[in-house]
Chains A and B, each alone.
Chain A
Amino acid sequence: AQSVAQPEDQVNVAEGNPLTVKCTYSVSGNPYLFWYVQYPNRGLQFLLKYITGDNLVKGSYGFEAEFNKSQTSFHLKKPSALVSDSALYFCAVRSGYTDKLIFGTGTRLQVFP
């Protein structure tokens, strides 16, 4: 069965500092990994995805994520956080054997001025 874990309910970071939001996964076969962001009272928006190829994936708004197969992780990163990055972030995984995209429980990112 597929599963995704986001071990931190909340991450706090000062504006201008680098940020990391953690995600680990479990799937059978090759993983297809996604990050989404949700602003208050809005639907989720796609940030980036890893399908194959380079382990470092670049996405929207300056975010990037690193796929680590040995650690089964897909952590979201940004070199310099902005207050406007404050939102709820979801990691999701799908295997090649299924149509279902399974989400983690989300991590709230709070960036302080």
Chain B
Amino acid sequence: DAGITQSPRYKITETGRQVTLMCHQTWSHSYMFWYRQDLGHGLRLIYYSAAADITDKGEVPDGYVVSRSKTENFPLTLESATRSQTSVYFCASSEDRVIGELFFGEGSRLTVL
């Protein structure tokens, strides 16, 4: 089915390990985003991408790395996971820079022990 998919849906890891969260969309949307959702903070933007090979920092980029070699994929990597990165991560895509709504994946729940 067309849409935006995230994997894994659930992940438990240990402090210091590298973790990659995958995001794939089938709409060929130009814009893709990574948010984290934490109680009391709502959704905070980590990184976003306007097109393949173009990425930019959001509100909370420290400790995260992204890449966008293909339009449809936008992986998020935690190079050395910390407990403060325990969160629910959402990937989203949009076809328009300003007026387009975001389409969200189902989320990836990450626990760092």
Contacts and interface: CB of A to CB of B under 8 A. Distances in A.
A96 interface: yes
B45 A46 contact: no
Given A42-B106, A43-B106, A44-B104, A103 B99 contact: no
B101 A46 contact: yes
A99 B48 contact: yes
A101 B33 contact: yes
Q: Please classify how large the interface on chain B is, using the bins under 10, 10 to 19, 20 to 34, 35 or more.
A: 20 to 34
Interface in A48-86: 49, 51
A101 B99 contact: no
Of A41, A42, A96, A101, most buried by chain B (CB within 10 Å of CB) is A101
Interface string A90-113: 100010100111111110000000
Contacts of B104: 36, 43-45
Contacts of A94: 98
A45 B4 CA distance: 12
Nearest to B30: A99
B45 A43 contact: no
Interface in A1-59: 6, 32, 34, 36, 41-46, 49, 51
Of A6, A32, A99, most buried by chain B (CB within 10 Å of CB) is A99
B98 A32 contact: yes
Contacts of B58: 100
B50 A99 contact: yes
B93 to A, nearest CB: 11
B98 A102 contact: no
B42 A104 contact: yes
Interface of A: 6, 32, 34, 36, 41-46, 49, 51, 90, 94, 96, 99-106
The 9 closest A-B pairs by CB, nearest first: A43-B104, A105-B42, A46-B101, A103-B43, A44-B104, A51-B99, A106-B42, A103-B42, A43-B106
12 contacts: A32-B99, A36-B102, A42-B106, A43-B92, A44-B90, A44-B102, A46-B101, A99-B50, A101-B45, A102-B45, A103-B44, A106-B43
